Amino acid sequence: MQKITIAVDGYSSCGKSTTAKRVAKKLGYSYIDTGAMYRSVTLYFLEHHVTLTNEKEVEKALENIHIEFRRNPGDGRNETCLNGLNVEDEIRKLYIANQVSEVSAIAAVRHAMVAQQRRMGRKKGVVMDGRDIGTVVFPDAELKIFMTADPIIRANRRQIELAERGDLVDLEEIIENIRKRDLIDTTRKESPLRKADDAIEVDTSYMTLDEQVDVVCLLADEAFSRKLQKSGQ
C-alpha cells in the first residue's frame, strides 16, 4: 500500500510534536521527533563539555552520537534514546531548551542529523516534525504543514508542560527563551526556520489538540488522494 511523507514544521510550543505523534498513530505511520534529536545532541555536548566553536571537537563528538526512538511497552510513549540510554525526560528540561537552538545552528550538527532523518524516512509512511523538514530534509514531502501560534499562548503551554514534569518556571523566563529560540531559528545561516512555499499554515493559537489532529489528518487524506490520482490508481 502506498504511503506519503508528512512534514510538520513550525515554532516551538505550537503543538507540533504532540499533534505529529497522534497523527502518526491514527494513520499507522512512524513518528520521528527531530527536535528530540537536536536536544539529545545538546545534552551530549553539555555532558562532554564540547566547545561549540571548535569544529574538530564538534565533528569528533558527532561520531559518537547514536540516536534512536523506542516505544515504551507500558504506556506506549515514544522515547528518545541517546547511545542506548533513555534521555526522554532529561532533554525536555529548560536548560536544554536554552541551548538547543545554538547547537542546532551548527552546520556539522544539522548535516549529521539530516542524514539520520533521511535514512529513517526513506520508506515513507512517516510523520516527521521539526523546523526544516519541508524545506531541507524532505522537500518533496507530499504534505507539508507549518504550525504557528501566538508567543504568549506558546509560553503558557510550555509552562504547563514543564509544571507537569515537576519544573516550576517563571512565565517571563519562558517567554524570553521562546523569543531567543525564534530569533536564532529564523536567522541562522544553516537551514533557517521558514515556511516552505507549498506548505499549509495552521495557526494553533485557539485550537484544541483534537482539532489540530483532525485538520492534519484531513489534509493527509487529501494529499494521499492526490498521490493516487497522479499514479493513475
Question: For residue 151, what pLDDT is reported?
Answer: 95
Cβ neighbours, 10 Å, residue 99: 16
DSSP helix/strand/coil, 150: coil
Q: What single letter denotes the amino acid at residue 9? A: D
pLDDT in tens, 190-226: 889 999 999 999 999 999 999 999 999 999 999 999 9
Mean pLDDT of 141-163: 96
Question: For residue 147, what pLDDT is reported?
Answer: 98
How far is it, in rounded angstroms, from Cα 155 to Cα 11?
11
Please state, in angstroms and as integers, the Cα–Cα distance from residue 24 to each residue in 16, 31, 193, 225, following that order: 12, 6, 23, 17
Cβ neighbours, 10 Å, residue 144: 25
pLDDT band at 78 (very low <50, low <70, confident <90, very high): confident
Question: For residue 74, what pLDDT is reported?
Answer: 78
Q: What single letter denotes the amino acid at residue 141? A: A
How far is it, in rounded angstroms, from Cα 71 to Cα 66?
17
Please state, in angstroms and as integers, the Cα–Cα distance from residue 141 to each residue in 5, 9, 114, following that order: 5, 12, 15
Predicted structure pTM score: 0.85
What sign has the CA pseudo-torsion 118, 124, 127, 131? Answer: positive
Segment among 49-63, 74-88, 152-166 with least mean pLDDT: 74-88
Q: State yes or no: pLDDT of 232 exceeds 80.
A: no
Segment among 70-84, 132-146, 190-204 with least mean pLDDT: 70-84
Question: For residue 1, what pLDDT is reported?
Answer: 64
- The fraction of the chain above a pLDDT of 70, given in percent, is 99
Q: Count Cα atoms within 13 angstroms, Cβ side, for 54.
A: 10
pLDDT band at 233 (very low <50, low <70, confident <90, very high): low
Question: For residue 120, what pLDDT is reported?
Answer: 87
The DSSP letter of residue 90 is G
How far is it, in rounded angstroms, from Cα 190 to Cα 225?
34
Mean pLDDT of 75-89: 90
- Please state the φ and ψ torsions of residue 22, each to the nearest 5 degrees: -70, -35
Q: What's the Rg (C-alpha) of the chain? A: 17
Q: Are strands 67-71 and 78-82 parallel, antiparallel or unpaired?
A: antiparallel
Q: Are 218 and 52 a contacting pair, CB within 8 Å?
A: no
Mean pLDDT of 107-130: 93
Question: For residue 75, what pLDDT is reported?
Answer: 75
Question: For residue 61, what pLDDT is reported?
Answer: 98
